[in-house]
Amino acid sequence: MFRDIGQMVILAWRTLCALPLSFRHLRKVIDQFYEIGNASLLMACILSLFIGGVLALQTGPIMVERGLSAVVGSVVGLSLCKELAPVMMAVLIAGRIGSAMAAEIGSMAVYQEIDALRTMNIDPIHYLVLPRVIAVSIALPCLVVFSILVGWVGGGIVSSANADIAVPWQAYFSSLSRVVDNWAVLNGLTKSFVFALVIGIVSCHQGLNTIGGPRGIGRSVTKAVVNSIVLILIVDYFLTRLLLQLDF
Amino acid sequence: MSQAPTKNGRPCVEVKDLRKSFGGCEVLKGINMEVDSGEIFVIMGPSGSGKSVLLRHLVGLLASDSGTVSIEGNVIDSPEILSKYRVAMVFQSGALLGSLSVAENVGLYLREHRLKKPAEIDAIVKEKLAIVGLEGAEDRMPTELSGGMKKRVSIARALVMEPQIILYDEPTSELDPLISVTIGEEIVKLREQTGATSIVVTHDRDLGFGIADRMAILRHGELVALGTPDEVRSSPREEVQTFLNATFQRQSITETQ
């Protein structure tokens, strides 16, 4: 485990050092970005809509019962913004894109394509890792913004349509806008950016270290998804503490 | 195994006491050999004898436990030193990038290092594909190619680098005899055209003796024969003769039954 962590830190550092070369890989970044958006947008939309709805459904009746109907929008809005949307989208991307990254790079490692790159003096970190990490680091925050907006709508629909809550659409959004400011959105975006780096580095690391044929590829994909999700949750805790201390 | 004299006394690749183990199993047991500039050097041996492991050391894909690999007198101990030389490798499987077309695979080196303009790269790709007899295959994907075609694309990709040294890993494995002969002829033709040093790893005896200027036989991680094809053929060592003369004895099998 410690060797894996060490290797991931080195991979992250080498990817960071390669950042000035990113303009050379613009085409690949755009391709990867399109791939991520194309694969995840519909799923993100459905997921966010229902999570927003469920959040309103869980918290709404209890709050209304205690005379706190004016804060239903605030609770749903803030929870989605700071916590649910970043974590949920990160988990979605880890499963949907992280697995694809690990599988693609892993298959290239098994079938000697990465060795072929090395013999041509093409650094696999520049060619494979850098575009993917950049693309996911841009795509995940964009998806989080989309998810927050859709989640708010989902919460609003349930709040206004459910008889046990019955908070009008306008009152819901007015409550939401009182609490959710730019800093709250920035908080979610900061988290999603860090989660994206975790997904990119963990998945590419697993892919590059794949050995042992199709079974090895399967193992790498599983490890990439599981390790990414575990790390996202751990990082989320510490990041939340840090951002709270910074009054973010 | 004592070092046989090189053809013209100017070693291009020099391997000294190279050792490599995997999980306690010693795969290379102190390999010593020299390869001249411009010669076709064939490394033969049965499967599992360490041929491909040796080749991967020459191109820097594996690091040795001890011993050195030198190119033109410089010990290759880091990717930076290796990058000073143009060493191309033709992989056993072809190792073409599955997501790229034939033309993109062949032009990858030039494109990624920005050595030529796109139009020039297209022209070079066409030229190299013509050399290996694959004109018009530019837009095809690797999955649409036969094993022989993949190997020839891989050779074209190596040629684009204008290599000083080309390493071939089992260039005729999984190929029918006619394609094997074509590949063998390509290797010799390319040496004549480019003057590149060629190191060929194979267990195909016909190919080995057909194209080699000098050759080595590797068995259980040790060189058991080294010299010209005639010298190797007349080696008194039993393991060499066993490898070179192994034939299928159908009659003895049926008699035993």
**Where do the structural domains in chain B lie, given as residue ranges?**
11-86+163-256
Mean local confidence (pLDDT), A105-121 = 92
pLDDT at B3: 44
pLDDT band, residue B180 (cuts 50/70/90)? confident
The pLDDT tens digits for A192-243 are 999 999 999 999 999 999 988 889 999 999 999 999 999 999 999 999 999 9
- For the record, the structure tokens of B47 come out as 């499967």
Mean local confidence (pLDDT), A73-97 = 93
Indicate the SS3 state at residue B68.
strand
Q: In the block, which residue shows the tokens 């004549």?
A: B192
Partner-chain contact A121 B83, CB within 8 Å: yes
pLDDT at A200: 95
CB contact, 8 Å: B95 with chain A? yes
Mean pLDDT over each residue of chain A, to the nearest integer: 91
Report the chain A residue with the minimal C-alpha distance to residue B157. A120
Residue A37 has pLDDT above 60, yes or no: yes
CATH number of B11-86+163-256: 3.40.50.300
What values do phi and psi take at B114, rounded to 5? Answer: 50, 50
Partner-chain contact A121 B113, CB within 8 Å: yes
How far is CA A204 from each of CA A31, A77, A220, B108, rounded to the nearest angstrom? 17, 34, 10, 21
Residue A243 and residue A187 in contact, taking contact as beta carbons nearer than 8 Å: yes
CA distance A141 to chain B (A): 27
The pLDDT tens digits for B75-116 are 888 777 888 888 889 988 888 999 899 999 999 999 998 899
pLDDT at B86: 85
- Say how far apart CA B235 and CA B224 lie, in whole Å: 9
The pLDDT tens digits for B27-80 are 998 899 999 888 999 999 888 888 889 999 988 888 889 999 988 888 888 777
- Say how far apart CA B91 and CA B147 lie, in whole Å: 12
In this structure, what is the dihedral angle of CA atoms B134, B166, A117, B18, given to the nearest 10 degrees? 150
Residue B6 has pLDDT above 60, yes or no: no
pLDDT at A248: 67
- Within B75-215, where are the H helices? 79-82, 102-112, 118-131, 147-160, 177-194, 205-211
Query: What pairs with residue B74 in β-bridges?
Result: B71
pLDDT at B139: 92
The pLDDT tens digits for B119-151 are 999 999 998 898 888 888 899 999 999 888 888
Residue B29 and residue B222 in contact, taking contact as beta carbons nearer than 8 Å: yes
pLDDT band, residue B5 (cuts 50/70/90)? very low
pLDDT at A99: 94
Comparing A189 with A37, the larger pLDDT belongs to: A189
Is this prediction's ipTM beyond 0.90?
no
pLDDT band, residue B256 (cuts 50/70/90)? low
CA distance A103 to chain B (A): 13
Report the chain B residue with the minimal C-alpha distance to residue A109. B95
**Where do the structural domains in chain A lie, given as residue ranges?**
25-240
Phi/psi-derived region of residue A230, left when phi > 0, alpha when psi is between -120 and 50, beta in every other case: alpha
Residue B202 and residue B180 in contact, taking contact as beta carbons nearer than 8 Å: no
What values do phi and psi take at B220, rounded to 5? Answer: 50, 40
pLDDT above 90 as % of chain A: 66
CB contact, 8 Å: A27 with chain B? no
* CA A74-A80-A85 angle, 5° bins: 170
Mean pLDDT over each residue of chain B, to the nearest integer: 85
How many angstroms separate the first and last alpha carbons of chain B? 41
Residues of A in contact with B83 (CB under 8 A): 121
Q: Element (H or E) spanning A200, and its range?
A: helix A182-208
How far is CA B90 from each of CA A107, A113, A172, rounded to the nearest angstrom? 19, 11, 65
Residue B8 has pLDDT above 90, yes or no: no
Report the chain A residue with the minimal C-alpha distance to residue B56. A115
pLDDT at B253: 67
Length of chain A as a residue count: 248
